[in-house]
Amino acid sequence: MIQYCNHCAATVVFTIPPGDSLARHVCPACGHIQYENPRLVVGCVAEWEGRILLCRRAIEPRLGYWTLPAGFMENGETTAQAAARETLEEAGARIAMDAPFAMISIAHINQVHLFYRGRMSSPDFAAGEESLEVSLCRPEDIPWTDLAFRSVSLCLEYYLADRASGRYGFHEAALLPA
């Protein structure tokens, strides 16, 4: 919870600034406003010879569950660069990103999850610090009941359906609290 100005250390006030419509953390001393906005989580569904790259989480939340490689987008990068970086960090795999594939708003946790489709440049992979293990998983072996997040399940459902139809689209969805 924001209590102090990060520019001058004065105690902030939670109030609607002039010309705005929502309450913000405003500094009465220096005027600085600390905005809070949704964060982008970016990842990918990457294939090698028909198998899909999955990571088993070594960190909370959902430690021990399986997920697509993904993580918070950083300043100074594009969405495609974020997807590639996260996949390299978590799965030790280099990916040629094809196209954005799914965008899932999760308003109650202030996140937007964005997944690309991609192809592994080689069959090489290795668990990064945030992964217990990494696997190239056949579609019929996807551990549906051990997936970490609903956005990951939804993205994989879209992916397998599109793959079966032979035509990949761009999918948008919103998840409500479980």
Residues that bind its own copies (CB under 8 A): 1-9, 12, 19, 21-22, 25, 34-40, 72-81, 89, 99-100, 103, 105, 107-108, 110, 112, 129, 170, 172, 174
Here the tokens at position 2 are: 């924001």
* 81 neighbors 116 (Cβ within 8 angstroms): no
Look at strands 39-48 and 70-72 and give their pairing.
antiparallel
> Which residues, 6 or more positions from 13, have their beta carbon under 8 angstroms from its beta carbon?
25, 26, 27, 28
Nearer to its own copies, 1 or 140 (CB): 1
| Least CB distance to its own copies at residue 152 (A) | 18
| Least CB distance to its own copies at residue 34 (A) | 6
| Least CB distance to its own copies at residue 49 (A) | 26
Nearer to its own copies, 52 or 82 (CB): 82
Nearer to its own copies, 137 or 173 (CB): 173
Nearer to its own copies, 6 or 121 (CB): 6
Distance of alpha carbon 83 from alpha carbon 63, whole angstroms: 21
Here the tokens at position 171 are: 């999918």
Distance of alpha carbon 5 from alpha carbon 13, whole angstroms: 9
* 115 neighbors 43 (Cβ within 8 angstroms): yes
Nearer to its own copies, 109 or 141 (CB): 109
| Least CB distance to its own copies at residue 76 (A) | 5
| Least CB distance to its own copies at residue 99 (A) | 7
Q: Is the backbone peptide bond immediately before 18 cis, with ω within 30 degrees of 0? A: no
